[in-house]
Amino acid sequence: MHLPLIETVEDLVKLTDEIGLLPFFENAIEGFSVEENITGDNWWHGSEDGRVDWPAWEWKGEVLRDKRLVYGKFTGGRACFVSPKWWPYLCNYRRDGYDFDARCDELSAPQSDITAMEYLAGNGPCLSKTLKYGGAAFTKKGRNSYDQTVTRLQMQTYITPVDFVYPVSSKTGKEYGWGIAVYDISDRYWGKRSCRGRYREDPEGSYEKLFLQLKSKLPGVDEKKIKRLLSV
Judge whether 179 and 166 are in contact, CB under 8 Å: yes
Predicted confidence (pLDDT) per residue in 105-117, tens digit: 888 899 889 999 9
With a cut of 90, say whether residue 206 has pLDDT above it.
yes
pLDDT of residue 49: 54
pLDDT of residue 136: 63
**Secondary structure class of 161 (helix, strand, coil):** strand
Q: Which residues does 152 contact at the CB level (< 8 Å), separation at least 6?
A: 110, 113
pLDDT of residue 57: 77
**pTM, entire model:** 0.91
Highest mean pLDDT among 25-39, 130-144, 170-184, 206-220: 206-220
Judge whether 27 and 33 are in contact, CB under 8 Å: yes
Q: Which amino acid is at 6?
A: I
